[in-house]
Amino acid sequence: MKATTLLTRQHRKVEGIFKKLENGRVDPLPLLDELSNDLAAHMAIEQEIFYPAVKAVDEDLILEAFEEHSLAELALKRLLGTDPSDPSFKARVVATKELIEHHVEEEEEDLFPKVEKKLGEERLLELGKAMKVRFDQVVEAGFDAAVPKGFAKTSADVTKPRAKATSKTAKAA
Contacts to Fe ion by CB under 5 A = 7, 46, 107
The closest alpha carbon to 161, from 169, 151, 152, belongs to 169
Which residue's CB is nearer to Fe ion, number 28 or number 51? 51
Q: How far is the CB of 83 from Fe ion (least distance, A)?
A: 28
What residue number has its CB nearest to Fe ion? 46
Q: Report the residue number, 42 or 82, with the smaller CB distance to Fe ion.
A: 42
Type and span of the H or E element at 78: helix 59-80
Contact 42, 107 (CB under 8 A): no
Minimum CB distance to Fe ion, residue 15 (Å): 11
Least distance in Å: CB of 65 to Fe ion? 5
Question: How far is Cα 41 from Cα 13, in angstroms, rounded to an integer?
Answer: 13
Closest CB 149 distance from Fe ion, rounded Å? 22
Rounded distance, CA 122 to CA 131, Å?
Answer: 14
Torsion of CA 36, 164, 60, 104, to 10 degrees: -20
| Start-to-end C-alpha separation, the chain | 25
Task: Give the C-alpha separation, 169 to 46, whole Å.
Answer: 18
Nearer to Fe ion, 73 or 82 (CB): 73
Q: Pick the closer one to Fe ion by CB: 93 or 156.
A: 156
Closer to Fe ion by Cβ: residue 82 or 156: 156
Distance separating alpha carbons of residues 31 and 23, to the nearest angstrom: 12
Nearest approach, Cβ of residue 78 and Fe ion (Å): 19
